[in-house]
Amino acid sequence: MTTKPGTAPGRAGHVGPSMSSLLLDNGDYLSDANHPIPDIVIRRLPIYLRTLTALLEKDVVSINSEELAESIGVTAAQIRRDLSYFGKFGKQGKGYDVRFLTDEIHHILQLDRHWNCALVGYGNLGLAIVHYGGFVPTTFHISAIFDRNDTVGLEVNGLAVQDVADITDTVARLGIKIGILAVPPHSAQDMADRLIAGGVTAILNYAPIVIKAPAHIMVREVDPIGAMQSMTYYLDEQG
Tell me the H-state helices in the chain: 39-57, 65-72, 76-84, 98-108, 124-130, 167-174, 185-197, 224-232
Compute the average pLDDT of residues 205-222: 95
Q: 27 vs 73, 152, 203, CA distance in Å? A: 21, 43, 22
Q: What is the pLDDT of residues 108-131, one digit of tens each?
A: 999 999 999 999 999 999 999 999
Domains of the chain, earliest start first: 2-108 (1.10.10.10), 115-226 (3.40.50.720)
Instruction: Report the chain's mean pLDDT, rounded to a whole number.
Output: 85
Backbone φ and ψ for 213, nearest 5 degrees, come out as -145, 160
Of all residues in the chain, the percent with pLDDT exceeding 90 is 71
Quick one: pLDDT at residue 236? 80
Q: CB of 93 within 8 A of CB of 83?
A: no
Task: Judge contact between 171 and 199, C-beta under 8 A.
Answer: yes
Please compute, for residue 147, the number of CA atoms within 13 A of its CA located in the half-sphere on the CB side.
20
For residue 87, the model assigns a pLDDT of: 86
Residues 38, 39, 44, CA angle at the centre, nearest 5°? Answer: 105
Q: Look at residue 13 in the predicted model and tell me its pLDDT.
A: 34
212 phi and psi angles, rounded to 5 deg: -90, 125
Task: Say what percent of the chain tops pLDDT 70.
Answer: 82
pLDDT of residue 3: 61
**Closest of 132, 138, 174, 184 to residue 156, by C-alpha:** 132
Sheet holding 115-120, edge to edge: 162-163, 140-147, 115-120, 178-181, 202-205, 218-221
Count of alpha carbons within 13 angstroms of residue 123, beta-carbon side: 10
Q: What is the pTM assigned to this prediction? A: 0.81
